[in-house]
Amino acid sequence: MVDKIEIPKRLITGAVVSDKMGKTVVVRVERTYIHPKFHKTVRSYKNYKVHDELEQACMGDLVTFYESRPYSKTKHACLHEIIKSENQ
């Protein structure tokens, strides 16, 4: 019998802004939307703490991650893949 491989429901893409913590990276996700009153494009940012078990991601990398079980008080996402590495 083959076990089911769980596919993440929501993949989020962002850039790593900090990798100073052990097994944790901080990823900044940018969101753009049109302001309802002024009809201008607005950029907003949100930082996520992402679990990086193998400590592969470095500052400046473009990564994807998914929501997962809570690893700590503020960390509830897990690294899926590194799209673009800054070092290479």
Entry pTM = 0.84
- Is a pLDDT exceeding 90 seen at residue 17? yes
Question: pLDDT value at position 4?
Answer: 59
Q: What is the per-residue pLDDT for 5?
A: 61
Which structural domains are found in the chain, ordered by start? 11-84 (2.40.50.140)
pLDDT digits (tens, 9 = 90+) for 26-81: 999 999 999 999 999 999 999 999 999 999 999 999 999 999 999 999 999 999 99
16-55 burial string, b = 16+ CB within 10 Å, else e? Answer: beebeeeebbbbeeeeeeeeeeeeeeeeeeeebbbbbeee
Residue 13 has a pLDDT of: 96
